[in-house]
Amino acid sequence: MPISAESVMVANRSTYRPRTLPAIFAQTAGGGSGLRGAGPTPDPALTARARPEALETRVPPAVSPGPYRIGVGDVVLLATPNPTEATIEQLTGLLAAQNSRQGYTVQDDGAIAVPEVGRVQIGGMTLEEAEAELFQRLVENQIDPTFSLEIAEFNSKKVSIGGAVSTPAVAPITLTPLYLDEALAAAGGVTVRDQDYASVRIYRDGTLYQVPLTQLYARDGLRRIQLVDGDSVFVDTEYELDLAQAYFAEQIQLAQFQQAARVAALNELNAEVSIRRGALEEARQNYLTRLELEGVERDYVYLTGEVRQQSRYALPFDQTASLADALYNTAAGVPTQTGNVREIYVLRGSADPREFASVTAWQLDARNATNLMLATRFELRPNDVIFVAEQPVTRWNRVIQQITPSLFNVVANASD
């Protein structure tokens, strides 16, 4: 029967479920047991300390940190003059209350992600250097470079204040210097009753400095001690400097222990994922090798007649194949010089083995280009045979090629 829209529907009604790839091709190496950690950290050790007759004053050296440099965690605001122009959109951070002010948080790699511009490295830069870098990137991306830049949240540089204060806090370091009296005020002030035996201790870069509370309020220079990133301020009512330093050292060790535990758990998880990934890759490679050596059961369609190469076409996994897929396969194809595109047949036997001689043949007339659309919708089934007839002139040419040697032999015998 000719291949038409109706016959294609009839041919495609036959039940067929394509073979599927093994489940290993859909699995991933994720889904591990997660970070295990190292359990709770030990409780800090606290010891009582007796009061001395006098407290030693140890003032940290003067510092000059220079202009503020943007760090990881800071939130910068990018303001454009036109609030309706969507050249810069919010990606991370906070949306400012003003019209076209967009907030961006500096990520771990020191960059902010600006839409239509990409990631811009501003970590470690001053505000002026960051403005110059953003200006250059906006110009490179042909975006109006009219903008202003400011820091909305200072999260990268901090000073911790604890001990005998109203509210232990973490004070950020901003564009203006942070002094000792300001840090204590940010924590609600000192709450000790007896200032004669209290001191303010500053832990900086592994060294502990001490300012007696009585000296702090008596001398203006001590109140204006400039603090830097990483300083820890502790108001203590005890006198032993070594024990106070041991407290800070203990806190650092606990933090290092927690960090090392997280790193170890992450390495363990990465190792587990790598092992799973290797097992999946090995299983997939073994299957592909078996497939290459024809050790896996496949469904085939056979191409014969006037095709470029008598071959078989493997039906794909997880989907059906059409007559056009097989005809336009690189190993097959119909040579137009010898093949008769008017007579392309699909032969399909009966599914019942007792009806072996029952064969249905569909004919595709490819002279009409619109019939090729039907070929893309005609679904193939296992063991279908695609047969392309030869052109009449091809048949005559082959007959002549077979007769010509015989004529030469007769003429040669007659001349003898």
pLDDT for the residue 125:
93
Instruction: List the beta bridge partners of residue 303.
Output: 311, 386
Output b/e per residue, 383-414; b: 16+ Cβ within 10 A.
ebbbbbbebeebeeeeeeeeeeeeeeeeeeee
> pTM for this structure?
0.43
Q: How many CB atoms lie within 10 A of CB 376?
A: 13
pLDDT for the residue 248:
76
What is 5-19+298-395's CATH number?
3.10.560.10
- In order along the chain (416 residues), what is the average pLDDT of each group of 10 residues? 88 88 81 59 54 75 88 88 49 38 86 87 92 89 84 91 90 91 90 79 91 84 89 79 69 80 83 88 90 89 87 90 85 73 87 71 87 90 90 63 59 59
Residue 253 structure tokens: 């060790």
pLDDT for the residue 196:
75
Radius of gyration of the chain (CA): 41
What Cα–Cα distance (Å) separates residue 319 from each residue in 15, 224, 286? 13, 76, 22
Q: How far apart are the first and last CA of the chain?
A: 56
3-state class (DSSP) for residue 284: helix
pLDDT for the residue 267:
84
The domains of the chain are located at 5-19+298-395, 30-46+253-296, 75-153, 158-239
pLDDT for the residue 49:
46
Question: Read out DSSP for 153-208?
Answer: E--SSEEEEEESBSS-EEEEP-SS-EEHHHHHHHTT-B--S-GGG-EEEEEETTEE
Whole-number Å distance between alpha carbons of 215 and 14: 97
Is the domain 158-239 a CATH 2.60.40.1190 member?
Answer: no
Residue 104 structure tokens: 């961006």
Whole-number Å distance between alpha carbons of 281 and 220: 70
Residue 60 neighbours by CB under 8 Å, 6+ apart? 202, 204, 207, 209, 225
Residue 314 neighbours by CB under 8 Å, 6+ apart? 298, 299, 300
Whole-number Å distance between alpha carbons of 32 and 100: 43
Answer yes or no: same fold for 5-19+298-395 and 158-239: yes
**Contact between residue 315 and residue 373 where contact means Cβ atoms under 8 Å apart:** no
Beta strands in 71-140 (DSSP E): 75-79, 101-105, 111-114, 118-121
pLDDT for the residue 11:
87
The continuous run of DSSP H or E covering 209 comes out as strand 207-212
Query: In this structure, which topology does domain 75-153 adopt according to CATH?
Result: wza like fold (3.30.1950)
Which residue has tokens 């191409």? 303
Q: Where does residue 88 rank: exposed (0-12), middle (13-18), buried (19+ CB within 10 A)?
A: buried
